[in-house]
Amino acid sequence: MNKFKQIIAILILSILSFSLQAELPENSLYQINSQWQTQDGEWIKLKNLSGKKQIISLVYTHCQHTCPIIIENMRMVEKSIPKDKKDNYAFVLVSLTPKTDTAEVLKAFAQERKLDPKNWTLLRGDENDVRLLAMALETEYKAVENNEVSHSNLISVLDEQGEILYQAKGAANQAKNIISELQKHY
């Protein structure tokens, strides 16, 4: 499929995937009405994440380059949240390689990295849903050889209703910048 047809297909999918839900803002990511599998093998919709601020990024488990840095930045943010505010925040990693990042792989990855399942949700979706979410988060990515992915280094903070509050781009100072931004919303 050529690039133009891919873009048209994604736009059509985007229009069809956004449901008109009165309880969510129009520009909420939780309007994306697709199914996502968690590291525990459960199927959820993004709107199941509502009610807490979510710190979210698109990564893949076998990345040896920037994904570990992104995750470490997210862990630093997690550690910085005051104890009395921790219940208001959660962390989400979405796989850019959903064919190989199965629920079992995501669970093992979370355990290996000591990501507390009470605070961290790892998700995989079908490739079109991942592309749609990446577009909504302004995350660019492209598959390269050997199941590797070239992608934006981006961490987004969503409010309780799924609207983007803040985005930290690049690998440098992500945690510091997010922590500073979150402190405005405590």
Q: What is the mean pLDDT of residues 22-42?
A: 92
The partner residues of 35 in beta bridges, in order of sequence, read 45
CATH of domain 3-183: 3.40.30.10
**Partners of residue 164 on adjacent β-strands:** 158
pLDDT over threshold 60, residue 22: no
| Tens-place pLDDT, residues 38-90 | 999 999 999 999 999 999 999 999 999 899 999 999 999 999 999 999 999 99
Tokens 């781009």 correspond to what residue? 169
Are 40 and 107 contacting, i.e. CB atoms less than 8 angstroms apart? yes
Q: List, in sequence order, every beta strand (DSSP E) within the chain.
A: 35-38, 43-45, 53-59, 89-95, 120-124, 141-143, 149-151, 154-158, 164-169
Residue 174: what are its φ and ψ, rounded to 5°?
Answer: -55, -50
